[in-house]
């Protein structure tokens, strides 16, 4: 498999951005499909308790991965700017630094996650009827965290050079293997949620091995060498300076959502399962938005490094049009067919949660466009190298609003719909804030 680089400083803006975003979207789709496949198979062969066990810790499991992806994104932005400026030697140092850092931090995070899992589940107030299976799922899942971090850091290096196809192909293959292993461990061998976790970590190690092997054997702007795998502290400092705001933003998101999930966990297993189904059905909305956002960031970073500022503005307009159009279509499909799709995830005896899911999902879907606009504007600002102020806006207008809502409004009425109102409220405020910030305070060319 040969790496296909893409130089965004040349050619039509719309076609280049679309070519890059589609494989990126495919990669994110397959990554999200891991959890969806687990949900379908576990829901069918374990039941709603198994589905609730997985979803009750979903935000907790995302926390370390999202934090590291934020740090890694700092490296991707720096690499993209170096690529646009044609500085190959600097690219090599940054790439080897982030790969070394991912390996070291991955092992540390895996050990900490396994050891402290019982304490975290206690804080999350996991119901007694799903505690044992949830603990086994979490501890097995953390065994594969190091592989996930290695894959994401290497994929970020490739995407900085405009190659979004290689991660896409690998994720597609890994997802197919994941389905096969899920059916084997959960359906055939009756291993429950532990089997789903084992399938996931096997696939994570397989994906990490393949993408590193491809990167090592390909001809590209970065010549890989094992002897170069060391941390260049000056570069790591630059990576952390750029990536830490993104990491904190990514990490605090799950913390705020864990607070919401804790309140949902107190409303009973049926509501947990219904909300889990909402996440399984609208899972495609988030990778679509994030993929287009990441594509816009890479596009802007390359052109900003090359000082082609007019293309930066064109990339922003194209990104917003592409994201809004795609999400609108997906929202309409989900709004109409959510009951029919939801039944695919559960055994017939558990279909009592379908009406709850449909009511919640149809309440949330119309507000997605506020999130979309904010994400693309934030992506443009990140591509220019500004990550601190977008972090502050997001933390205050999204996470802060959610926490405030849970602490104040939900204490007056603890229904699941009242709890979930925190999401559209935060999307609206965050979207308005980014529009105002971009129009009045963002760096102008």
Residue 58 has a CB neighbour count (10 Å cut-off) of 17
Amino acid 146: pLDDT: 93
Contact 211, 154 (CB under 8 A): yes
Q: Is the pLDDT of residue 307 over 80?
A: no
**pLDDT at position 426, please?**
93
- Look at residue 221 in the predicted model and tell me its pLDDT: 64
| pLDDT band for position 220 (cuts 50, 70, 90) | low
Residue pair 439/431 in contact (Cβ under 8 Å)? The answer is no
Q: Which residue has the higher pLDDT, 55 or 330?
A: 330
Provide the pLDDT for residue 443: 47
Instruction: Looking at mean pLDDT, say which of 38-42, 63-67, 189-193 comes out highest.
Output: 189-193
Residues with Cβ within 8 Å of residue 154, at least 6 apart in sequence: 99, 208, 211, 212, 215
pLDDT tens for each residue of 99-138 = 999 999 999 999 999 999 899 888 888 888 888 889 999 9
pLDDT > 70 fraction of the chain, expressed in percent and rounded: 91
The whole-number average pLDDT for the span 384-413 is 83
pLDDT at 376 over 80: yes
Burial 236-262 (b: 16+ CB within 10 A, else e): bebbeebbbbbbbbbbbbbebbbbbbb
Q: Give the closest residue to 256 by CA, choosing from 72, 73, 425.
A: 425
Say which residue the tokens 């198979």 belong to: 41
* Contact assessment for residue 342 and residue 278, using Cβ atoms and an 8 Å cutoff: no
Looking at every residue in the chain, the average pLDDT score rounds to 83
Compute the average pLDDT of residues 73-98: 84
Phi first, then psi, for residue 411 (nearest 5°) are: -65, -20
- pLDDT over 70 (residue 356): yes
What's the pLDDT at 35? 65
Q: What's residue 112's pLDDT?
A: 92
User: What pLDDT band is residue 372 in, cutting at 50, 70 and 90?
Assistant: very high
Model confidence at 411: pLDDT above 80: no
Q: Which of 142-146, 202-206, 336-340, 429-433 has the lowest mean pLDDT?
A: 336-340
Q: Is the pLDDT of residue 352 over 70?
A: yes
Please give the average per-residue pLDDT across 401-426, as a whole number.
83
Position 4 scores a pLDDT of: 61
For residues 83 and 373, the model is more confident at 373
Q: Match 């690998």 to its residue by tokens.
A: 170
Contact between residue 359 and residue 276 where contact means Cβ atoms under 8 Å apart: no
- List, for residues 240-297, the tens digit of each pLDDT value: 888 888 888 777 776 777 788 888 888 877 888 888 888 778 767 777 888 788 888 8
User: Residue 221: which residues within 8 A CB-CB, separation 6 or more?
Assistant: 5, 83, 88, 91, 161
Q: Give 318's contacts (C-beta < 8 A, 6+ positions apart).
A: 13, 14, 17
Which of residues 37 and 167 earns the better pLDDT score? Answer: 167
Residue 69: pLDDT band (50, 70, 90) is confident
Q: What is the mean pLDDT of residues 152-179?
A: 85
pLDDT bracket for residue 5 (50, 70, 90):
low
Helix pair 233-265, 269-281: axis angle to 10 deg = 130
Q: What is the pLDDT of residue 28?
A: 67
End-to-end CA distance of the chain: 39
Confidence band of 413 (pLDDT split at 50, 70, 90): low
More confident residue, 89 or 423: 423
Q: Is the pLDDT of residue 445 over 50?
A: no
């Amino acid at each position: 498999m040969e790496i296909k680089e893409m130089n965004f400083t040349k050619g039509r803006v719309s076609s280049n951005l679309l070519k890059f975003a589609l494989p990126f979207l495919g990669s994110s789709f397959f990554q999200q499909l891991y959890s969806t496949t687990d949900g379908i198979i576990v829901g069918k062969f374990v039941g709603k308790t198994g589905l609730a066990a997985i979803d009750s810790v979903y935000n907790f499991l995302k926390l370390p991965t999202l934090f590291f992806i934020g740090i890694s994104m700092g490296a991707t932005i720096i690499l993209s700017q170096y690529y646009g400026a044609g500085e190959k030697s600097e690219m090599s140092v940054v790439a080897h630094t982030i790969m070394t850092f991912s390996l070291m931090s991955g092992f540390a995070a895996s050990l900490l996650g396994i050891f402290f899992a019982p304490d975290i589940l206690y804080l999350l107030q996991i119901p007694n009827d799903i505690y044992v299976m949830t603990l086994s799922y979490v501890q097995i899942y953390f065994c594969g965290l190091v592989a996930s971090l290695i894959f994401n850091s290497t994929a970020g290096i490739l995407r900085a050079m405009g190659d979004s196809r290689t991660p896409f192909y690998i994720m597609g293959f890994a997802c197919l293997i994941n389905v096969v292993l899920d059916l084997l461990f959960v359906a055939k061998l009756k291993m429950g949620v532990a089997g789903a976790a084992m399938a996931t970590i096997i696939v994570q190690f397989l994906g990490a091995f393949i993408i590193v092997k491809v990167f090592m054997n390909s001809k590209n702007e970065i010549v890989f060498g094992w002897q170069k795998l060391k941390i260049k502290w000056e570069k790591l400092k630059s990576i952390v300076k750029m990536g830490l705001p993104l990491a904190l933003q990514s990490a605090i998101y799950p913390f705020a959502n864990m607070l919401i999930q804790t309140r949902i966990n107190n409303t009973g297993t049926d509501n947990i399962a219904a909300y889990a189904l909402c996440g399984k059905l609208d899972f495609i909305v988030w990778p679509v938005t994030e993929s287009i956002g990441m594509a816009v960031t890479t596009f802007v970073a390359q052109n900003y490094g090359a000082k082609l500022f007019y293309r930066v503005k064109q990339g922003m307009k194209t990104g917003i049009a592409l994201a809004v159009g795609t999400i609108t279509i997906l929202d309409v499909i989900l709004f109409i067919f959510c009951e029919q799709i939801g039944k695919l995830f559960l055994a017939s005896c558990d279909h009592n949660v379908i009406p709850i899911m449909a009511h919640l999902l149809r309440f949330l879907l119309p507000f997605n466009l506020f999130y979309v606009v904010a994400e693309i504007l934030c992506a443009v600002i990140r591509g220019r190298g500004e990550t601190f102020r977008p972090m502050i806006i997001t933390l205050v207008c999204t996470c802060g609003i959610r926490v405030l809502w849970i602490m104040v409004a939900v204490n007056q009425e603890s229904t699941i719909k009242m709890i979930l109102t925190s999401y559209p409220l935060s999307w609206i405020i965050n979207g308005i804030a980014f529009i105002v910030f971009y129009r009045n305070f963002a760096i102008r060319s």
